Structure 1
Amino acid sequence: MKFRRDRSGTVRPRGRAQFNLRGRLKLVVGVLGACGVVLVARAVDLQLVDNAYYQQKADSRFLREIPIPTSRGMITDRNGEPLAVSSPVDSVWGNPQELLKTPDRLPELAEALGVPLDHLERRLAQRADKEFVYLKRRINPSEAELILARKIPGVFSQREFRRFYPQGEALAHVLGFTNIDDAGQEGVELAFDEWLSGIPGAQKVIRDRRGRIVENVDLVRAAQPGKDLTLSIDRRIQYLAHRELRATLQRTGAVAGSAVVLDIATGEILAMANLPTFNPNAVTGEHRDARRNRAVTDLIEPGSTIKPITVAAGLEAGVITVNTIFDTNPGWIANGRYRTTDHRNLGVLDTTGVITKSSNIGTSMIVQKLDNQYFHDFLARLGYGKSTGSGFPGEASGLLQPADGWSGTTKQTMSYGYGLSATPLQIAHSYATLANHGRAMQPTLVKGQHAEPRQVLSAGIADTVLRMMQTVTEPGGTAIQAAIPGYHVAGKTGTARKASGGGYSRRYVSFFAGVVPVENPRFAMAVVIDDPDPTKGIYGGPVSAPVFQTVMDGALRLMDVPPDDIETWLAEQAKQQAKERARNAPRVAATPAVASGAGQ
């Protein structure tokens, strides 16, 4: 390579361009400056101009919208006593992703939750890609605190509400229950779920990577608690009905029972009890049959309780009068190729006697004079064959076949309660209609929710039949066990054989339906005892009437209903006073001789 010396004497390579250090330095500085400007511009764009997208991405990792729990409306009885209330509880939940990072703490967590370790591990593994799983729901806050006190990473709690039923089994069928998410499942809880359910609120919060709330950002929606509901039920009368049903099932060996009490003037249901029952505070998947509200879902042939209705139909049609005579000799009457019989030969009866003595033959003679369609329509007017409209979920309509489908024996058997079916509520409703001067009131479970009455029967005929029914509870009637001192009671017993295999078995349903007091009717009640032990009695008088007597006696006093039978009321008061005086009288000390003789 050849070299040359420049003017300053420096030796440089010959044939190459001179190295411009200053120019290159300016170029580097310019490029770096441009990059800095681009970075600053991009930062300004991201943070000030177009930051929404990235803010959303950041928020999606830490900002959460969580629900604000709300309480379900309280259910009370007609007097304001709580029947269903919601109490705050805690639910423990976990972050599976966080929990699976510390498997050594899982045995401790399983012990705190009271669950097998393999069950917990399997549940977490199934939701390994999730950030939420319930570990234990609706427990006492103190129990939740003990679990959280172990400070296991990924374990948290949240507030919820749980339903409690202070009256327990006594009102289980009426109220129903809610599921674990506090949604109504049966009974009033289901029928009025929308009314009782609150609207949960929502709140935006910031959670850290462990799921803990570090900041409340914004209230999205305030929680709205559910609305309260006042039922027509009187818990005192309900308790009486439940207690007496239980005692009767134990006394008679029956498998089930139902009782319904109606306020005649308003149609309000004051009590509706069923056995067997269940505990709504601890509902399990077992014994589902016990959760059925038999008073509105079970269909039964009403037996002799239909006889006053048959008599009313005959009176309205004008085919009989109060003084019509019925010769029931020799104790049976033909019904096609079958026979209709009485429990014994009742001889000659008038219209009142047909009800007093519960004559199948007498009602058969009445219905033979009636047109098929007329009798069908009359029963329908009294509420048979259609729902009462109480609004209870699953209420049965009963069975009343169209008249053109009747066989040659249908009408006669229907006159004394076979060949049609009804619920206990329908039976009570038809009796309340008779007692309400022929005006039908729609039954309701809500206090103050009254429909307009419908006049389905003339007041004169309804009052006349009610007077006839009064003889049933008086000496010579079939239900003297239903008599209440101080009050005139109108009612009717019933004993129906249970259908089985296309015929009838030797198992029975025992009824009593009645009204009290007759002078100014206040309550109607139907009692149904299913399958009593035949060795302990099957007839409605000794089996079902005592339930009516005890429950109505208590209800009349609880409601301060004045007596309408002053003579028996005064006699009862005198008897009670005599007992009280005898109880409080000082005891005469025994003489030594008497005492000595007693010792021997």
Structure 2
Amino acid sequence: MDATDGSILSLVSEPSYDPNQYYNYDVTLFKNWAVTDVYEPGSTFKPINVALALEVGAIEEDSVFYDTGRMRIGRWSIFNSGGGGGARSVTEIIRDSSNIGMVKIIEQMPRAVFYDGLKRLGLEDTTGADLPFEAANILKGRNQFLMVPVEAATTAFGQGFSLTPLKLAQLNAALANGGKLVTPHVVRGLFDSKGQPYWQLPLPQPKQVFSSDTTTKVLAMMEKVVESGTGKRARLRGYRIAGKTGTAQKASETGGYSKSAKITSFVGILPVESPRYVVLAVIDEPVRGSGGKVAAPVVKSVIKSLINIEQIPPSDKRE
């Protein structure tokens, strides 16, 4: 996605089918999963939550929290996949994807303020994209969110609510473009034989949801994810890339979560010095591996092609 205006430059769902022989394929392959289905994003949502906390002054970019590795909220146990880490800055919490650190960050906000922030991002709406059958995102009701402490805790690390991959790309575009929610779209308009436009898709005005100061700070944190954190497999020599990994539990059809099924993902933003492009890969039930191992290489391969197609020059910062 081009974060400046929401243009979708490429959108792929796999496995796919041959439309010339559609009758030979399962009908479940006919839909565009990135638009029609919702999922729990997991840790790829952590930078969005950090932006919400920074925006209301609940934390500073250099705030430090003690990561115990595990905690209990009511009858629920919450833990990191990699154990405890002691004192961690906000950047380290994002870089190492600490669940406990994120819970402690979100605890700095009243739950009502956190909930209102999520609503402001449109987590109960569609993006308004010009694609058919877009699913609405799903957020718990206000009373349940405010009255049950574990709801805010799980939302802190991207579980307990659902969104489409398209919505997550839109939210990351806001981190890239200085804080504006732009409308994703695939149609540019109608052009005559000389290439002159005579109709362009009417789009709503972008909605400012974060300050540019907040997004600059969050992008710097996400760059550390790629430089030295869980997203190192997305590193590309000569280019500054911000990113975030995600490995989320998958909801079970019988309630609760599956004991084995995961959804892994990685989102990349580039170039950090002049952010414009958002690349998201979401992989449903990989055989093994985390978002950093499974999805980050996919994003890296797309970024390589994007650099060639768009002729993106190398960053000033060399590695």
1:489 paired to 2:241? yes
Counterpart of 1:82 in structure 2 is none
> Which one of 38, 45, 50 corresponds to residue 299 of structure 1?
38
Contact 1:470 1:490 in 2 (8 A): yes
Alignment of 1:320-399 (within 5 A): 320-329=59-68, 331-343=69-81, 344-399=83-138
1:504 paired to 2:257? yes
Percent identity reads 39
The TM-score normalised by the length of structure 2 is 0.91
> Which one of 304, 307, 312 corresponds to residue 556 of structure 1?
307
Give 1:286 shift.
Answer: 4.3
Alignment of 1:104-115 (within 5 A): none
Counterpart of 2:47 in structure 1 is 308
1:454 paired to 2:193? no
CA distance in 2 between counterparts of 1:279 and 1:517 reads 35
1:409 paired to 2:147? no
Give 1:309 shift.
Answer: 1.2
CA spacing shift, 1:488–1:383, aligned 2, 3 Å: farther
Alignment of 1:514-553 (within 5 A): 514-534=268-288, 537=289, 539-553=290-304
CA distance in 2 between counterparts of 1:371 and 1:359 reads 21
Alignment of 1:225-240 (within 5 A): none
Give 1:566 shift.
Answer: 4.4
Contact 1:309 1:379 in 2 (8 A): no
CA shift digits 1:551-575 (9 cap, x unpaired): 011101210112224423xxxxxxx
Alignment of 1:581-596 (within 5 A): none
Alignment of 1:426-441 (within 5 A): 426-441=167-182
Counterpart of 1:582 in structure 2 is none
Amino acid at match of 1:533: V
Contact 2:2 2:276 in 1 (8 A): yes
Counterpart of 2:194 in structure 1 is none
Counterpart of 1:443 in structure 2 is 184
Give 1:348 shift.
Answer: 1.3
Give 1:361 shift.
Answer: 0.5
Moved over 4 A (4+): none
CA shift digits 1:462-520 (9 cap, x unpaired): 11111111100002x00101112211111100001111122211110001012011111
Contact 2:240 2:317 in 1 (8 A): no
Show structure 1 runs of 5+ residues with no match.
Answer: 1-261, 569-600
1:468 paired to 2:209? no
CA shift digits 1:64-105 (9 cap, x unpaired): xxxxxxxxxxxxxxxxxxxxxxxxxxxxxxxxxxxxxxxxxx
CA distance in 1 between counterparts of 2:51 and 2:318 reads 30
CA distance in 1 between counterparts of 2:119 and 2:307 reads 31
Amino acid at match of 1:426: K
The size of the alignment, in residue pairs, is 302
CA shift digits 1:195-243 (9 cap, x unpaired): xxxxxxxxxxxxxxxxxxxxxxxxxxxxxxxxxxxxxxxxxxxxxxxxx
CA shift digits 1:316-367 (9 cap, x unpaired): 12121111111112x1122211121011222210011110010100110011
- Asked which structure has the greater CA Rg, the reply is 1
Q: Secondary structure at the match of 1:263?
A: coil
Q: Secondary structure at the match of 1:352?
A: helix
Amino acid at match of 1:312: A
1:422 paired to 2:166? no
Higher relative CO (CA 8 A, sep ≥ 6), structure 1 or 2?
Answer: 2
Show structure 2 runs of 5+ residues with no match.
Answer: 190-200
Amino acid at match of 1:295: A
Contact 1:299 1:396 in 2 (8 A): yes
CA shift digits 1:15-74 (9 cap, x unpaired): xxxxxxxxxxxxxxxxxxxxxxxxxxxxxxxxxxxxxxxxxxxxxxxxxxxxxxxxxxxx
Give 1:383 shift.
Answer: 3.5
CA shift digits 1:417-466 (9 cap, x unpaired): 11100111111110001111001111111125344222111110011111
Contact 1:302 1:422 in 2 (8 A): yes
The TM-score normalised by the length of structure 1 is 0.49
Contact 2:102 2:157 in 1 (8 A): yes
CA distance in 1 between counterparts of 2:287 and 2:185 reads 34
Counterpart of 1:271 in structure 2 is 10
Contact 1:493 1:511 in 2 (8 A): yes
CA distance in 1 between counterparts of 2:9 and 2:16 reads 18
CA distance in 2 between counterparts of 1:358 and 1:532 reads 20
> Which one of 267, 270, 277 corresponds to residue 513 of structure 1?
267
CA distance in 2 between counterparts of 1:326 and 1:373 reads 22
Give 1:375 shift.
Answer: 1.3
Give 1:372 shift.
Answer: 2.2
CA distance in 1 between counterparts of 2:168 and 2:268 reads 10
CA distance in 2 between counterparts of 1:566 and 1:315 reads 26
Pairwise CA RMSD of aligned residues?
Answer: 1.4
Amino acid at match of 2:73: N
Amino acid at match of 1:516: L
Amino acid at match of 1:326: F
